[in-house]
Amino acid sequence: MYPDLSYVFHDLFGTEVDNWTSIFKTFGVLLATALLSAAWIVKSELRRKEKEGLLPKIKILNVDKKRLAIREAIVNGLIGFFFGFKLPIIISQFPVFKQDPAGMVFSLQGSWIGGIIGALVLGGYYYMTGNSNKTEATTQPGEYLISPHQKTGDIMIMAAVFGVLGARLFSIFENWDEFLADPFGQLFSGSGLTVYGGLILAFLAVFIYIKRLGLKPIHLMDIAAPAIMIGYAVGRMGCHFAGDGDWGIVNTAAQPGWWFLPDWMWAYDYPHNVLREGVAIAGCEGIYCNKLAEPVYPTPVYEIIMSFAILGLLWFLRTRIKIAGLLFFIFLFFNGLERFFIEGIRVNPRYELLGLGWSLSQWIALMFMIAGIIGGIFLLVNKNSSGGTSEPKEKSIYDY
């Protein structure tokens, strides 16, 4: 396992573990990669739908470039303040930062002078350069048009922020006792993120944002389907390679005769896992010197394989399906199906409801499948009468 990049470079080049590269945590690096991969799909699909005439340009009313420049300067000034506030303490206490980056970032330790300088430099730069969005004037005074793909950055930032917030809130709900024992620590912990919580809250936030831009959410839902799946797949790679606890139940059963995959894909003990769970590894030197006492099902690997398979299906269908929204409901069904069955061998809290000891994720996965079936059938039945196609229409129920 690779809790941080120092362990990756150790295997590749033989360098020492827990060196300065250990500040780059494997899960964080792959999470960033997941967001960038999803952003690439969103932007390319927005461009494609723009060329097909399905997404009109976004009208910006009463644009005041000076006001926009001030707003952008304030936002970036806050970012500059954060980095200026934190960098001095990180540099001066680097050994402590290496061991617990999240703890130091979320602490109140920092340099106020550095923060003020950072705010002035970055905020001042963005005020001087002004609004960087490329705009196109209309016939109406004070009106400008921009292409939907130019909003990719805003969409992804909103999805990331509300995704992390939703994942954290759902995780707290699943681990309520731990939250009551340490509310502040649990709220700002970087571990314990529930994927479905993030997916649901991010979807709602972006849906509302898209409507406010004057775009049809149903087309953006189709774009979101493959973007979410590639993010999910790469994110699960982070879970596996970091060994963040998102593994399965103990698996001491003998491999079946038909098993043709590597032994570690049947049962794995996650050596050097980032949680430092399990027993000590003999002869190991470094911070992460534990492995699980008993091997478990490496469920992230199974989800990576299934997620890329679903992504391949969605990518194949995206230009072939002419009913707007249908791709999204296909995604809902298959994502729910995958998650429902994998939960059967995952470590997760169980809840007794209707005589079924299912996890919260299983109940959500079931709702995803039901919504996928109902939504898909509705679109197929009403594809002619409701205007539920990918071709431009006069007015339909999808003109939100």
Encode the chain (400 residues) as per-residue pLDDT tens digits: 899 999 999 999 989 988 888 888 898 899 889 989 999 999 999 999 999 999 998 877 655 566 767 877 887 888 888 888 888 877 777 677 766 666 667 677 788 888 898 889 888 887 777 555 555 555 555 667 889 998 898 899 888 888 878 877 776 766 656 656 655 555 555 444 467 788 888 999 999 999 988 888 999 999 999 999 999 999 999 999 999 888 999 999 999 999 999 999 999 999 999 989 999 999 898 889 999 999 999 999 999 999 999 999 999 999 999 999 999 999 999 999 999 999 999 988 787 878 888 888 899 899 999 999 999 999 999 876 544 455 544 333 333 3
Domain span including residue 259: 5-55+216-381
Residue 269 domain-assigned?
A: yes
This prediction has a pTM of 0.80
Dihedral of CA atoms 341, 373, 232, 32 in degrees, nearest 10, equals: -160
Strand partners, 352: 357
Q: In the listed set 134, 156, 191, which residue is the last one of a domain according to the structure?
A: 134
The structural domain count of the chain equals: 2
Select from 331, 294, 330, 305 the least CA-distant residue to 236.
Answer: 305
Are residue 228 and residue 102 in the same domain, yes or no?
Answer: no
Residue 166 domain-assigned?
A: no
Are residue 83 and residue 116 in the same domain, yes or no?
Answer: yes
Q: In the listed set 99, 134, 169, which residue is the last one of a domain according to the structure?
A: 134
Residues sharing a CB contact under 8 Å with residue 185, sequence separation 6 or more, in sequence order: none
Are residue 293 and residue 341 in the same domain, yes or no?
Answer: yes
Instruction: Please check whether residue 207 is in contact with residue 288, taking contact to mean a CB–CB distance below 8 angstroms.
Output: no
Are residue 236 and residue 350 in the same domain, yes or no?
Answer: yes
Q: At what angle do helices 217-242 and 26-51 cross, to 10 degrees?
A: 160
Are residue 328 and residue 237 in the same domain, yes or no?
Answer: yes
Segments of 180-267 assigned E as strands: none
Write the CA distances from 100 to 17, 94, 97, 147, 190, integer angstroms: 15, 10, 5, 42, 10
* 3-state SS assignment for residue 353: strand
Are residue 232 and residue 302 in the same domain, yes or no?
Answer: yes
